Amino acid sequence: MKSSEIEIMRTFLCALDGGRPAPLCSEIKINDEDAVYGIMQKLVAAALEDTKSKTGVFQEGDYLDEAVTDDPDDLRAFAEDVTAKVFELVSGSTEVRSGSGFFVFCIVEEQPLVGFFKLNYRETFLCKADEDDKVTWAIASNALPKASIRECEYFLINILDRTVRMSDSEFFIGGETKVNYLAEHILQLQAQRSEKEKVDIIRDTTIETIRECYKPEEVAEKVMSYRKEVADHVEQTGRVSVAKIEQAVFADDDEAKTAYREKLQHREIPREPMEVSPKTGRAYLRKQKIVTDNGIELLVPVEYLKNADVVEYQKDEEGNITILLKDIHAINA
- For residue 330, being part of any structural domain is answered with no
| pLDDT exceeds 80 at position 301 | no
Residues 169, 310 share a domain: no
Instruction: Report the pLDDT averaged over residues 268-279.
Output: 91
Q: Quick check: 174 pLDDT over 80?
A: no
Q: What pLDDT was estimated at residue 123?
A: 58
pLDDT given at position 23: 86
In a domain, 278, yes or no: yes
Domain that holds residue 238: 196-325
- What is the pLDDT at residue 306? 61
Q: What are the tens digits of pLDDT across the range 120-130?
A: 766 566 666 77
| pLDDT at residue 48, rounded to an integer | 94
Looking at the fold, whether 181 and 203 belong to one and the same domain comes out as: no
Whether residues 171 and 64 share a domain: the answer is: yes
pLDDT at 138: 65
Which tops the pLDDT comparison, 277 or 217? 277
**Does pLDDT of 188 surpass 80?**
yes
pLDDT digits (tens, 9 = 90+) for 86-141: 999 988 867 888 888 899 999 999 999 999 999 876 656 666 677 776 766 666 65
What is the pTM assigned to this prediction? 0.78
Query: Domain ends where: 137, 168, 192?
Result: 192
The contacts found for 75-82 with CB under 8 angstroms, 24 or more apart, are: 75/10, 75/12, 75/103, 75/105, 75/114, 76/12, 76/27, 78/103, 78/114, 79/12, 79/14, 79/25, 79/103, 79/116, 80/25, 82/116, 82/186
**pLDDT mean over 36-64:** 94
Domain final residue pick, 161, 192, 223: 192
Contact 158, 113 (CB under 8 A): yes
Q: What is the pLDDT of residue 264?
A: 95
- Burial class of residue 141 in the structure, from the number of CB atoms within 10 Å of its CB (0-12 exposed, 13-18 middle, 19+ buried): exposed
For residues 170 and 37, membership in a common domain is answered with yes
Residue 331 phi, psi (nearest 5): -115, 120
321 contacts: CB under 8 Å, gap ≥ 6: 217, 220, 313, 314, 315
- The three-state secondary structure class of 307 is coil
| Helix (H/G/I), strand (E/B), else coil: 91 | helix
On whether both 216 and 161 belong to a single domain, the answer is no
Q: What is the mean pLDDT of residues 274-298?
A: 78
Q: Could you tell me if residue 271 is inside a domain?
A: yes
Q: Say yes or no: 229 and 248 in one domain.
A: yes
Residue 58 placed within a domain: yes
Residue 93: predicted pLDDT? 65
pLDDT confidence of 17, banded at 50, 70, 90?
Answer: confident
- Please report whether residue 130 resides in a domain: no
Q: Say what percent of the chain tops pLDDT 70.
A: 89
For 172, the 3-state DSSP assignment is strand
Task: Read off the pLDDT of residues 320-333 as tens digits, 9 standing for 90 and up.
Answer: 777 888 877 777 75
Secondary structure (3-state) at 53: coil
Quote the pLDDT of residue 142: 55
Task: Give the confidence band of 305 by pLDDT, cuts at 50, 70, 90.
Answer: low
If you average pLDDT over every residue of the chain, what do you get? 86
Q: Is the pLDDT of residue 76 over 90?
A: yes
Residues 203 and 307 in one domain: yes
pLDDT at 333: 57
Pick the residue with more confidence: 209 or 17?
209
Q: Is 10 a domain residue?
A: yes
Specify whether 188 is located in the same domain as 273: no
| CB atoms near residue 140 (< 10 Å) | 10
**Average pLDDT, integer, range 272-299:** 79
Of 19-23, 41-45, 229-233, 272-276, least confident by mean pLDDT is 19-23
Both 306 and 214 in one domain: the answer is yes
Residue burial 274-303, b: 16+ Cβ < 10 Å; e: rest: bebbeebbeebbeebebeeeeeeeeebebe
When divided into structural domains, the chain yields a total of 2
- 171 within domain boundaries: yes
**CA 145/CA 17 separation, integer angstroms:** 16
Q: What is the pLDDT confidence band of residue 84, given thresholds at 50, 70 and 90?
A: very high
Look at residue 9 in the predicted model and tell me its pLDDT: 96
Output the CA–CA distances (angstroms, integers) from residue 137 to 8, 99, 143, in the order listed: 37, 22, 15
What distance in Å separates the CA atoms of residue 227 and residue 243, rounded to the nearest whole number?
Answer: 14
Q: Does 272 lie in the same domain as 179?
A: no
CA–CA distance, 88 with 92 (Å, rounded to integer)? 6
Which amino acid, residue 113?
L
Residues 187 and 208 in one domain: no
One domain for residues 65 and 178: yes
**Residue 65, in any domain of the structure:** yes
